[in-house]
Amino acid sequence: MSNDTAALKEFEPGVYIRINDVMTGIRKLARVTDSGRSYIDLDTEDCTPLPIYETLQPEEAGNILGWGLYLVDNKPELHPAWKDLCERLINSGEGVLTYNRAAHWAFVNLTFDFDQAMAAATAETATVAGGRKALDDMAKNAGGVA
């Protein structure tokens, strides 16, 4: 692996980033870990943090508070719908990453329909989970088949 390929990018811990998923080909929302140089992409106890490689084109996406503040400052007429949506998402019972994916989708699309946002988020989470399963399967078979 060349130095360019192995170069890591650092972000503020806890912020959300958009990053390419090599297993699925999608651009996914993930949360930066406390190290600032790795991320998690699923809300499971055994989700191994992955490094934030520069080659995966990571970019800061912000967080739910920042998205709301942007709307207050720039599109105040949309903020009540945003606030209502966020309350529903937070109380939905979904994992933090999934409801933040829904909030991010709503923010980017300026569409605050709970069902649409949650459908987009659960689809992304399912795709990420499928990619993680494929990665885990590859790791289990890394030594070859006995």
For the chain, the structural domain boundaries read 3-62, 64-124
**Cα 118 from Cα 138, distance rounded (Å):** 30
Q: Are 81 and 61 a contacting pair, CB within 8 Å? A: no
Kindly state the tokens that stand for 139. Answer: 């790791």
Residue 42 has pLDDT above 60, yes or no: yes
Kindly state the tokens that stand for 39. Answer: 């991320």
pLDDT attached to residue 3: 59
Mean pLDDT, range 112-132, rounded to an integer: 97
Kindly state the tokens that stand for 46. Answer: 């055994």
CB burial of 93-122 (b: ≥16 within 10 Å; e: otherwise) equals: ebeebbbbbbbbbbbeeeebeeeebbebbe
Q: What percent of the chain is modeled with pLDDT above 70?
A: 94
Band of residue 46 on the pLDDT scale cut at 50, 70, 90: confident
pTM: 0.90
Residue 1 has pLDDT above 60, yes or no: no
Those residues whose C-beta lies under 8 Å from the C-beta of residue 28, and which sit 6 or more positions away, are 18, 19, 20, 21, 41, 124, 127, 128
Tell me which DSSP letter residue 43 carries. Answer: -
